[in-house]
Amino acid sequence: MAHPTSSPRPLHLGVDLSDAGAHPAAWRTHGSQAQRLFDAERLQHLVDTAQRGTLDLVVIDDSFSLQPTRSTTLRGRLDAALVAARLAPRSRGIGLVPTVATTHTEPFHVSKAIATIDHVSGGRAGWQLGWSSDDADAGHFGRGAALSEAAAVAEAEEAVEVVSALWDSWEDDAEIRDRETHRYVDRAKLHYVEHDGVHFAVKGPSITPRPPQGQPPIVVRVGSDESFGLAARHADLVRISATSRDEALDLRLRLRAAAAAAGREPGDLRVLVDAFVVTGPDQASARARLDLLTELEGVRWDTDSLTHVGTARELTDTFLSWWEIGAVDGFVVRPSSLHTDLDVLVDGVVPMLRTARAFREHYNGPTLRDQLGLRNPANRYAAIA
Amino acid sequence: MTTPRKQVHLGAHFPGVNNTTVWSDPRSGSQIDFASFEHLARRAEAAHLDFFFLAEGLRLREHKGQIHDLDVVGRPDTLPVLAALAAVTDRIGLAGTINTTFNEPWELARQFATLDLLSGGRAAWNLVTSSDAFTGENFRRGGFLPHEQRYERAAELVQVARALWDSWDDDAVVAHARTGQFVRPGSVREVRHEGPHFQVRGEFTTPRGPQGHPVLFQAGDSADGRDFAAATADVVFSAHSTFEAGKAFFADVKGRLAAHRRTPDQLLILPATTVVLGATAQEAAERSHEIRLQQVPGPTAIAFLEQVWGRDLTDHDPEGPLPRIEPDVENLDITRGRVRHVKDPRAIAGAWRAQADANGWSIRRLVIEVTSRGGFVGTATQVADAIDRHVQEDASDGFILVPHLTPAGLDDVFDQVVPLLQERGSFRTEYAGTTLRDHLGLTRPAPRNTRSYADRALVG
């Protein structure tokens, strides 16, 4: 296979650090450290590994309900935003992307939480936008029946607009510390967002100064027509599910067209496909690992996207073949077992991608936007000043 | 046989968004960069303090209809900062203020359980309530709450949070790979709560933290607030830092505990205070005066007076006499987003004028005098003596130390005062335990009788 010697469009790689891995039985495998599932040092070690492979980002899933799918015997989850904050001081280069849902959480809180993760990480926060149409979630908040998917997405879209405006509500140079006049801030550079919408009325400004990236990248998972539209209008990074290269290509092109139709520069969109991964030194052992996992929990592994069972070499070739034709900008790897497949990704796949000149040798800069090749956006309020 | 000395408990307060914090000093660092938070937390931990403390405010303060720009403005979000500090410290408690009015118990309980797990049992929650429609403009839910319902709602919120924390047994996670049992059958229970303020049902997502419940701080000073603290809190963040007021407050609050079947050692009283050191008492007093001048520059003095006068006074010279014009009693919410209640402005104005005239004080000098809260000023030995006396004689169980400089404003206290307290056996030289409850001498709450909740097991 011919590889380009250099690419103007580098490959992006993220890894999902949720639970013990993407397979429901991952926690039961040798070395999973399931006893330490809620231990910060286990998570720190995983981030260290991902950072060793100069991956773009880690994503941490979240939900207000206890393993809502119930396809696994695993139980329990931490607040993803606080996990991301906990991982920030002792990591460098790698993006930290928690899921925060807007259905039951105030946009003002979301805004300052993500902004603060961006501050404590020196510009490495992202926000995977979540929403809930789940009855159990609604019951935790005394809110009766859950919203429909369409209503939850519509509310999430308005929440993104509020959060984004709050991030801009401080201009970057608002803090002046002027000893002459004894003014700490130039209040002309603090802005009321004055949002008065369908779901929210939020005055502003934020209590937290503008995050280092200006706007931390927004990640949207596309799984419906509604979320497709939301992603095209607001996402910097779109996670899609696709089982074939052609399906991914079609979806990526449609997303870019929809972004352009919404007045955005399609080149500012990064489309990553979820890749479920079971690795082994050869085909047979990878297959045997999956068989063992299946046997352990007695459930079939229902993946809804690219699923690779095989060697690191084969996975590298798949990644390259999807990427080279422009089907994707990269992948969010969902290791069947974090403790096994993440190591293979970092120590097996990444070096081969580097050899193919498809993946970075070093981090491009300190921020997540640096890794994604996205400039910090101008402040909407400064622009009209 | 002698009884062991009472132990002093100390917290380190990150400088806040008020005029106590001097931002104009050349040594003053960032209020936002993580390095500032890390500096204070690490230095406090090296001195074996009980906890680091971070306050919260959910709307920028306004004065005369504009954002108040004379004090520090802006702060990061409390809980992510505490979670990040857990990565760079090992033992020190991590306490933060979170307003209950604009949050739901499910989410708060989850966040504090997470912080407790991520920090190895060091989380503390300073629970405040608000009936503040001004702050409410930043939120879709919450906002105005009749004053008398504030503690009622807070008490119910704590009740729900505790039910959620108790809904997982301590040993719920067994993670038996061979049998496929991740949680012990029956060890995770559904919570059902139907109350006037909250209706909550479901299976909580997060295991019980190392402390069982995070340490609960409470700061209210009204009779309702004191009762709420006596019934519910582990620590009272008090404003009564002088010896006499401290003794009265201490006796009052600890006296309320018996009615709730609690003992005096189950609730610690920790007033906020400041410390100014000098090689001599004279030098310390001079430094203290310098700091007060930094804290109250001319425009700050005028703005403070405007809160009482209810009108613009910028045409007055802060170094000149007090205004002769009377307060505008119709305009008492000239400043919004801060806790200060002016009951009778004309009487206050009259008293201040008389005080200033009698002493020959300028506006600025008067404001410095009437806003001084005492604090400890002296040599390291004098300050250590005073802190120890407060604790040994039941004026407090220790203090929350509020520096005027970010981030190194307490370094001299850690270096000079703490060793003296350690020498006299009043302060730890090593952390004896790993959790904040250990440091504070608080017992770990046992899981409650689970029969009060629905008994349906998740995994049968």
Q: Before A205, cis peptide (omega within 30)?
A: yes
Residue B204: closest CA among chain A residues belongs to which residue? A66
Query: Is there a contact between A73 and B138 if contact means CB atoms under 8 Å apart?
Result: no
Residue B200: closest CA among chain A residues belongs to which residue? A140
Residue from B24, B61, B114 to probe the interface with A (highest A Cβ count within 10 Å): B114
Query: Is there a contact between A200 and B141 if contact means CB atoms under 8 Å apart?
Result: no
DSSP A68-89: TT--SS------HHHHHHHHST
For residue B110, give the nearest of A61, A64, A116 by alpha carbon: A64
Query: Is there a contact between B70 and A297 if contact means CB atoms under 8 Å apart?
Result: no
Question: Residue A306 pLDDT > 60, yes or no?
Answer: yes
Mean pLDDT of chain B: 93
Chain A residues in contact with B198 by the CB 8 A cut-off are 142
Q: Is the dihedral of CA B169, B171, B173, B176 positive or negative?
A: negative
Chain A residues in contact with B22 by the CB 8 A cut-off are none
**Hey, is the C-beta of B6 within 8 angstroms of any chain A C-beta?**
no
Name the stretches of chain B with pLDDT < 50: 449-460
Chain A residues in contact with B199 by the CB 8 A cut-off are 142
Strand partners, B94: B52, B123
Listed by start position, the domains of chain A span: 12-79+90-231+245-271+324-345+355-383
Instruction: Return the amino acid letter for A172.
Output: D
DSSP conformation class of B438: H
DSSP A145-205: SPPPHHHHHHHHHHHHHHHHHHHTSB-TT-EEEETTTTEEE-GGGB----EE-SS-EE---
Residue from B118, B137, B319, B406 to probe the interface with A (highest A Cβ count within 10 Å): B118
A141-160, pLDDT tens digit by residue?
A: 988 889 999 999 999 999 99
Q: What is the ipTM of this complex?
A: 0.97
Interface A–B counts its CB contacts (< 8 A) at 219
Residue A111: closest CA among chain B residues belongs to which residue? B77
B12-21, pLDDT tens digit by residue?
A: 999 999 999 9
**Hey, which residues 14-53 in chain B have their CB within 8 Å of chain A?**
23-24, 32-34, 38
Residue B423 near residue B387, CB atoms below 8 Å: no
Tokens representing A130?
């979540």
pLDDT of residue B107: 96
Query: Is there a contact between A40 and B117 if contact means CB atoms under 8 Å apart?
Result: yes
Residue from B119, B141, B171, B182 to probe the interface with A (highest A Cβ count within 10 Å): B182
For residue A334, give the nearest of A16, A14, A12, A11 by alpha carbon: A16
Smallest CA–CA distance, residue A11 to chain B, in Å, is 30
Mean pLDDT of chain A: 94
CA B79 – CA B94 distance, rounded (Å)? 9
Average pLDDT, integer, range A187-202: 96
Burial class (CB in 10 A: 0-12, 13-18, 19+), A289: buried
Query: Is there a contact between A65 and B202 if contact means CB atoms under 8 Å apart?
Result: yes
pLDDT of residue B451: 40
Domains (ranges, CATH) in chain B?
A: 9-279+393-452 (3.20.20.30), 297-370 (no CATH)
**Hey, is the C-beta of B141 within 8 angstroms of any chain A C-beta?**
yes
* Nearest-CB residue to B84 (from A28, A88, A140): A88
Query: Is there a contact between B110 and A141 if contact means CB atoms under 8 Å apart?
Result: no
Query: Is there a contact between B111 and A190 if contact means CB atoms under 8 Å apart?
Result: no
Query: What is the DSSP pairing of strand A218-221 with strand A237-240?
Result: parallel
pLDDT of residue B144: 66
Chain A residues in contact with B138 by the CB 8 A cut-off are 106, 108, 202-204
From its phi and psi, is residue A156 left (phi > 0), alpha (psi between -120 and 50) or beta?
A: alpha
CATH for A12-79+90-231+245-271+324-345+355-383 is 3.20.20.30
* Nearest-CB residue to B207 (from A38, A199, A203): A38
Contacts 24+ apart (CB under 8 A), A37-43: A37/A74, A37/A76, A37/B173, A37/B175, A38/A76, A38/A78, A38/B117, A38/B173, A38/B206, A38/B207, A39/B117, A40/A83, A40/A86, A40/A87, A40/B86, A40/B87, A40/B117, A40/B118, A40/B119, A40/B120, A43/A17, A43/A83, A43/A86, A43/A87
pLDDT of residue A68: 67
**Hey, is the C-beta of B66 within 8 angstroms of any chain A C-beta?**
yes
pLDDT of residue A2: 43
Residue A123 near residue A366, CB atoms below 8 Å: yes
Looking at chain A, the whole-number percentage of residues with pLDDT higher than 90 is: 89
Alpha-carbon dihedral A167, A169, A171, A174, rounded to 10 degrees: -120
A35-65, pLDDT tens digit by residue?
A: 999 999 999 999 999 999 999 999 999 999 8
* Nearest-CB residue to A81 (from B80, B119, B298): B80
